[in-house]
Structure 1
Amino acid sequence: MKTIFSYLSPYKWLTITALMFMLIELSVELIQPLLIATIIDDGILAKNQQTIIFWGSIMLGCSVVSFFAGIINTYIASHVVQSYGYDIRQALFKKIQSFTMATFLKFPSSSLITRLTNDVTITQNLFFMGLRIMLRAPLIVIGSVVMSFFVNAYLAFFLVIGAPILVLFLYFMSRKGMKHFAKVQKSVDRVTRKVQENLQAVRLVKAYLRGHFESSKFAGVADVLKMDNVKAFRIMELILPVLLFVMNVSLMAVLWFGAKEIQAGGAQMGELVAIVNYAMRMTGAFSMFSFIIVFFSRAKASAERMEEVLVVEEGIEEISTYPVNAHPGVGEIEFQHVSFHYPTTDAPVLKDVSFTVKPGSKLAIMGATGSGKSTLLNLIPRFFDATEGNIFIDGVEVKDWPLKELRQVIGLVPQQSILFTGSIEENLGWGDSTATEELLKEAAKQAQIHNSIEQFPDQYETRVGQKGVNLSGGQKQRLSIARALVRKPEILLLDDSTSALDVSTENALWEALEDEQATMLVITQKIRTAKGADQILLLEEGIVSAYGTHDELMESSSLYREIAESQQEGDHHVESHS
């Protein structure tokens, strides 16, 4: 937890101040039994009203001081904890943003969400409890023991006789609790992942009437979470009865032997009352120990999970914050004997891939599902690094490019069109935050989405729902293309980005993109789209099956001819029914 505690260091003086006010509260609480003993022995039993009024007034004054000290402590503790929560969330989110795609594969997105939300909240609660209760409870126990020996050492001995047993018991139970609450946090991850998956696929769930099935699956992971929580809290629930039993036995011993001491003249009534008072305070503090152990166990598990993210050193993208240099290149791409497999598996996705794309030309990439098309595109902006071989852009190997400068010259349209909550204008501005309104509209016109936007009541100020839920598939694809065009990229990567467009809209799009000077790599399943490319790369199980123009592949590749003929048959079938 050392890394997590380091985020409290900017607030160390506020923390110390909060602890000082907590100590004032504690001092008042420890002094009160002494004052009560004095009032009983020197006031009530001596029938001295003046003494009662004097020490009673001091008790009242101390209570007022304790009251205001508690308020100030709570105020400062709240400020420290909320500031810590803000800082740690910022640090976690910034760290996650720096992950390479390979590092992302090690952390499920649901787990990262839990660490940024639930785990941070749990550690916040721990630190707040620490400034208000967690330190106070053991200090009350220690202070009560010390003050008890100051009042009457003989009676205090009976009060602390069970302390060694309790210390060992609490140590054992806290170790068990930490282990079980670590399992609870993993179960929370699984629940979050299930909820996330279901909400993302809500249309599909409704379309296939799978709500009941999904509910039963959710009940399964929720039941595991419930049972993990039950096991953890069953262990914790054993703590309080044991603590109270030992303390009550000690208290009975104090009363039994205290009464004998008073009768024998070895102790005064006020001393016995003071010892009983300290015993009651110790019992109250011990009763909080079970809650403290629960909080600490959960917080330790959460802190370790957050620390796991914060200490990642390998698989971090180093992106300079300085402005990129103007790149004089023209967008030539060359793959030389490139092979690749994902970090989580040894199975090759690409094997000995070589090709060259001339500046300003268009390469269509085709192949069956799983043939490595999207993976090939991901290697260009270095989402992953090639396992073998070299990739060059304008004669410079991609690994030698500054990462920010490399990605600045690339416009990417992913297979799944991702839009963010905000206006259409804000989504287009993702391509270039400095782009003017005219540039945004120009890109929208090229992407064949401008007219659709103009028909919305709020036009470019129209709000886009989460992931573009209020837009059609074709509208989302065209907005994603426009966002990439805003960058004026030298290299444009289109990952099956026109699948939802009708023939006339797609033709208009490609015609508009002819004026672009960008080098284009287009993943497509459509022969009519591939025909318009300068070159076609056909992949089969990660290997280059064919490479050339449409006419060349029709002559040399049986697989390409088979794809072309199947699509021609499909087109004829559609025409015969139209």
Structure 2
Amino acid sequence: MLISLLRRYLAPYKGFLALVVLFQLIGTLANLYLPSLNAKIIDDGVAKADIDFIWRTGGIMLVISLVQVVCTITAVYFGAKTAMAYGRDVRAGIFDKVLSFSAREVNHFGAPSLITRNTNDVQQVQMLVLMSCTMLVAAPITMVGGVIMALRENAGLAWLILVCVPVLAISIGLIVFRLGPLFRKMQERIDNVNRVLREQITGIRVVRAFVREPYEVDRFASANNDLTDIALRVGRLFALMFPVVMLIMNLSSAAVIWFGGHRIDAGTMQIGEMTAFLTYLIQILMSVMMATFLLMIAPRAAVSAERISDVLNTESSVVLPAQPVTSTSGEHGVVRFTDAEFTYPGADAPVLQDITFSTEPGKTTAVIGSTGAGKTTLISLIPRLFDRTGGSVTVDGVEVSEMDADLLWSKVGLVPQRPFLFSGTVASNLRYGDPDATDEELWHALRVAQAADFVAEMPGGLDAPISQGGTNVSGGQRQRLSIARALVKKPEIYVFDDSFSALDVTTDARLRAALHAETADAAVIIVGQRVSTIADADQIIVLEDGKIVGIGTHDQLLESSPTYAEIVDSQLSAEEALA
């Protein structure tokens, strides 16, 4: 997963990566040559008191050092540029993919997990890319080149390299091996913390209404403590790593000085050679440490890459047509259901079955039924929030699954059951329906939606601020603003999913009267719970257990549908039912 994700999103930046490799190579080779020159100064310059040689060699070392600095800075610059661009592209890829998901896929992953995958998980992989660009090239070159250069100085101490490097690699490898499973648990527990926190913030009114603050504090503390426990275990392993590295490096240095001192005393090694050998050994061990540091980051990045790939590789259940219909002719605002069926994957029984009815412009179709009857699922089939699993659903004579998505959505104005407003202003939310709408068109939609009065009283009017989710306005005001947003769009088909439930009876009646005139040339589908909201509809569809058990006008259904009559009796008095 990690390799495929890197290959997929790093492909556009091969040029930058080539520059990183080139400058890292030059800088690393320069760094490897410096200890050898230093040894020559000690053995050939200082020992022989050759000042000119010292100045010449020192000047060469200074030039090489400058080259190394310039190459390192350039490599880090292009490496950081590549890593940041990579992170940007992956986040954009996840976002675009999530936008293509149907409600089924979004519910499968969950909003908190999708947010974590697009932030924290991307950051982990991005960090691996950055560290790889700054270390991955230098580490192997330093390891191989350091061994060659150390053997050139003195082959008699080569056995120290054969001992120290495997000891360091095995020690850090054991720690890294234990980190992998912990990183997976850490990402899952970050998901859990985000989920609990999101629930508590969005549901703060319910929490306070039921005086459940202590319970929620305990619930968050439990999720937080679970994350802390894993983080502490990871932290302990990290803390163990650096003392182990320093211990091995210090013991290695002491061993070089000890055994090198004996060789100097025996006349088989010079002081400069020992100094250079010690420097090369430290460079080799540092490169091993850098390589293992990458291995330490890699397990967490691999876990994050797997979670990211799960999103990117998930295909939406709503598949765009290969050859979409981009225009319709003849019918406008006509919706037909023919033996339509919808079944969730793995479900024993369909949620909807044998759904057959049609709507037309200038007519209002209402859908009513008990909770769980399938009303919201039914109207979700029209804009393809879900795809029917059987039968046919057409708009203007074209199967919705074969219609161009933009064309379909331009024809449908949906007001969802839970109205959602975006952070911004009243105007920016209303222009979500039509970005080119004028202020007069916005006020007209607000007047029809019975929202003009309270918007006019808000500071700024159309420019009044709206917080995320519309939490700074009441539930009824959110519903009316959502209805106004749909009206600004001027679609051919209006779909109201229980969009009047938060309105009082008087406002509901005024709104429906205004809507009747505004939507005279459009088809209107209303999902309602209150009989008073749907009683004047041209046809009423009664759902029960996902099936149509009655269809007709209010008066017809009172006589022919026991289910509808039962709903009416439960809501209205005998006089209202007869009216």
User: Do they superpose with TM above 0.5?
Assistant: yes
SS for the counterpart of 1:525 is: coil
Q: Which residue of 2 aligns with 1:227?
A: 229
Q: Which residue of 2 aligns with 1:575?
A: none
CA distance change for structure 1 residues 78 and 33 in 2, over 3 Å: closer, same or farther? same
Distance 1:319 1:411 in 2: 21
CA distance change for structure 1 residues 132 and 316 in 2, over 3 Å: closer, same or farther? farther
1:37: how far off?
1.0
Distance 2:123 2:404 in 1: 37
CA distance change for structure 1 residues 454 and 225 in 2, over 3 Å: closer, same or farther? same
Q: Check if 1:559 corresponds to 2:563.
A: yes
How many aligned positions are there? 572
Q: Which residue of 2 aligns with 1:304?
A: 306
Indicate if the aligned counterparts of 1:243 and 1:286 stay in contact, CA closer than 8 A: no
1:490: how far off?
1.6
CA distance change for structure 1 residues 553 and 108 in 2, over 3 Å: closer, same or farther? same
1:187: how far off?
1.7
1:155: how far off?
1.2
Q: Which residue of 1 aligns with 2:124?
A: 122
Q: Which residue of 2 aligns with 1:537?
A: 541
Q: Check if 1:527 corresponds to 2:531.
A: yes
1:230: how far off?
3.4
What is the CA RMSD across the aligned residues, in angstroms?
2.7
Q: Which residue of 1 aligns with 2:333?
A: 331
SS for the counterpart of 1:514 is: helix
CA distance change for structure 1 residues 236 and 437 in 2, over 3 Å: closer, same or farther? same
CA distance change for structure 1 residues 161 and 570 in 2, over 3 Å: closer, same or farther? farther
Distance 2:35 2:533 in 1: 88
Spell out, residue by residue over 1:77-102, the C-alpha distance to the aligned partner (whole angstroms, 9 max, x if none): 23222222222222221121112333
Indicate if the aligned counterparts of 1:99 and 1:317 stay in contact, CA closer than 8 A: no
Distance 2:477 2:282 in 1: 70
Indicate if the aligned counterparts of 2:28 and 2:138 stay in contact, CA closer than 8 A: yes
Q: Which residue of 2 aligns with 1:131?
A: 133
1:288: how far off?
3.9
- Name structure 1 gaps, 5 residues minimum: 573-578
333-342 or 34-43: bigger deviation? 333-342
Scaled by the length of structure 2, the TM-score of the pair is 0.91
Matches within 5 A, 1:287-302: 287-302=289-304
Distance 1:320 1:471 in 2: 43
174-183 or 202-211: bigger deviation? 174-183
Q: Which residue of 1 aligns with 2:276?
A: 274
CA distance change for structure 1 residues 513 and 270 in 2, over 3 Å: closer, same or farther? same
Corresponding residue to 1:418 among 415, 420, 429:
420
1:444: how far off?
2.0
Distance 1:22 1:395 in 2: 63
- Name structure 2 gaps, 5 residues minimum: none
Indicate if the aligned counterparts of 1:335 and 1:355 stay in contact, CA closer than 8 A: yes
Q: Which residue of 2 aligns with 1:375?
A: 377
Distance 1:336 1:9 in 2: 47
Distance 2:289 2:165 in 1: 14
Indicate if the aligned counterparts of 1:255 and 1:272 stay in contact, CA closer than 8 A: yes
Indicate if the aligned counterparts of 1:159 and 1:251 stay in contact, CA closer than 8 A: no
Q: Which residue of 2 aligns with 1:216?
A: 218
Spell out, residue by residue over 1:18-46, the C-alpha distance to the aligned partner (whole angstroms, 9 max, x if none): 33333333223212211221111112222
Corresponding residue to 1:469 among 460, 471, 480:
471
Identity of aligned residues (%): 38
Matches within 5 A, 1:433-472: 433-472=435-474
Scaled by the length of structure 1, the TM-score of the pair is 0.91
**Runs of 4+ with deviation above 6 angstroms:** 319-323
Matches within 5 A, 1:54-453: 54-164=56-166, 166-167=168-169, 173-313=175-315, 315=317, 317-318=319-320, 324-325=326-327, 327-343=329-345, 345-453=347-455
Indicate if the aligned counterparts of 2:325 and 2:404 stay in contact, CA closer than 8 A: no
Q: Which residue of 1 aligns with 2:55?
A: 53
Matches within 5 A, 1:466-545: 466-515=468-517, 516=519, 517-545=521-549
Distance 2:348 2:243 in 1: 54
Indicate if the aligned counterparts of 2:541 and 2:550 stay in contact, CA closer than 8 A: yes
Alignment-mate amino acid for residue 54 of structure 1: R
Spell out, residue by residue over 1:289-329, the C-alpha distance to the aligned partner (whole angstroms, 9 max, x if none): 55333322222221222222223345364389999536542
Spell out, residue by residue over 1:436-488, the C-alpha distance to the aligned partner (whole angstroms, 9 max, x if none): 33333322222121232222231112221111111121111111111111222
